[in-house]
Chain A
């Protein structure tokens, strides 16, 4: 074998092995994060974390009960704002859209999806915080809801498009009007996928910190209403991690573990539902 061919053989094996190393490295990062967070978070996690308010710096103990409830409040309201808008928009793109206008909407939705979350935070700040003269859960929820709209819209559209054309034709042939066809045949057929997409979208906004920093701000106590500053888990993790107190770092690890587990659980569950849904559909067809 000539030297050149030997070199080519070597290069082949070496580079292919390197691609394997790259893949292993990329995947191992997930386990590294999970493992390290579980190790640190588990040691710091106790019952107080879920039931108590944060303690002032210097005092040991305390928890993040207000942040857990606050996050739930903000995410719930954000979902109520973002999910319906995204859903109906997705229905338009898939069922009513022509070529020109829906192409523009699709393109702009993707661009909006790529806008840095902190810029969305500025928008919510100018629209809600400035006129009301106070930071509020409402402003935070609006910021997250705005982020949810393009995500839900594009996903709903995708799943509606996957519904076979023959089902639409069948419904129309039976004399259903178009909106009836959509409401009783197309959307139910795609419901599983749409729900999954929404779970994924909600999981994504639930972990967002940047848009909450100057909309819902933070709160060391229970929030007294929708128009008051409200604590949330991501902001709490951020403020505790950059603070110079050892016990706050402990709390940050615990909160990080809880947040990551919730987000990953939602992701795994969503994908599990989706894969089962597809195989079940294939079984019927």
Chain B
């Protein structure tokens, strides 16, 4: 008896598997599973290649790579600090400008505007997100840079020149130009995700605040925005990851100078921009490996920030569904 059931079970299991295989379900599952797994494969290969490709630079410089300012391909001296600094500064400028602007726009679209106008504006803003970054770069190089050089930077230098950020000659191209164009580019992301987060706030929250005598602004600022904060912070993180990795538009206006300066008027460099400019002409193993290591840094940086953002957005959508 016992042996019979024992011998039957696996056969039954295999039989069921075989039947599913014949009628195609198991094949379909396995085939689509293989395709779905490609994303894991791609990320694994990406990490592997970035690590392998940067081996020489990692062994040669170690952690000093990140704190060395010198970038001199001729002398084979490579330090990543100017690029990390430029990437962080341009992204910070972009966030400083884009976050208040986008949050304001999102509040208007979610709280004030009639549904039709809100949808129409959101459609236009999402189109803005679809504009290729080389177009932003093209606009920036021929309009933003001259504008900054001739009007904005001299004005800022006169009025706020006592701050170290607004000193020095006006080049046009530099941290400020890159930060501004990045701000324009990340606005659509913050607006459309924040708007969704604001829509997710239950109506009762607003009504309760208004019933307690709050003005509409007070209800928005003290009740609705705090309620949607995780989603909003998530959108800001997503935008930050975009800003850190943005390449072409920044490359066109950053000024391409690997040095660290406090002034936002000064030309600088970012990680993505140096990859775009120097990768094809890098000669020598150490030079190439240093560039790949910069790519690895950029990859890890955006990975961590995106993972955080994703987590925040997932958390808000879970919490939102708890309050239908």
Q: Which positions in A face B, CB cutoff 8 Å?
A: 8-9, 11-12, 15-16, 18-23, 25-27, 29-30, 33, 36-37, 40, 84-89, 91-93, 95-97, 102, 104-105, 107-112, 114-123, 125-127, 135, 146, 149-150, 153, 177-180, 182, 200, 203-204, 206-210, 213-214, 217, 234, 237-238, 241-242, 249, 252-253, 256, 259-260, 263-264, 267-268, 271
Contact = CB atoms under 8 A, between A and B. Distances in A.
B66 interface: no
B130 interface: yes
A29 B183 CA distance: 12
B112 A16 contact: yes
B302 A178 contact: no
Given A23-B121, A27-B121, A85-B38, 7 more contacts: A19-B105, A26-B101, A30-B124, A114-B241, A116-B245, A209-B133, A263-B131
Nearest to A178: B25
Contact of B276 (A20, A92, A114, A210): A210
A22 B102 contact: yes
A123 B46 contact: yes
Interface in B3-50: 23-25, 27-29, 31-33, 35-40, 42-43, 45-46, 49-50
Given A112-B42, A119-B46, A234-B134, A19 B124 contact: no
A122 B292 contact: yes
Contact of B134 (A93, A118, A123, A237): A237
A93 B36 contact: yes
A256 B37 contact: no
Nearest to B184: A29
Nearest to A95: B32
Contacts, number: 269
Contacts of A26: 101-102, 105, 121, 125, 128, 187-188, 191
A264 B53 CA distance: 38
A251 to B, nearest CB: 11
Contact of B39 (A8, A153, A259): A153
B73 interface: no
B310 A110 contact: yes
Contacts of B279: 121-122, 125, 213-214
A86 B141 CA distance: 36
A234 B135 CA distance: 8
B310 A9 contact: no
Given A210-B272, A271-B123, A234 B128 contact: no
A242 B241 CA distance: 26
Contacts of B40: 104-105, 108
Given A122-B50, A123-B45, A213-B276, A89 B133 contact: no
B264 interface: no
Interface string B281-311: 0000000000010010011001100110110
Contacts of A238: 134, 137, 248, 251-252
A170 to B, nearest CB: 18
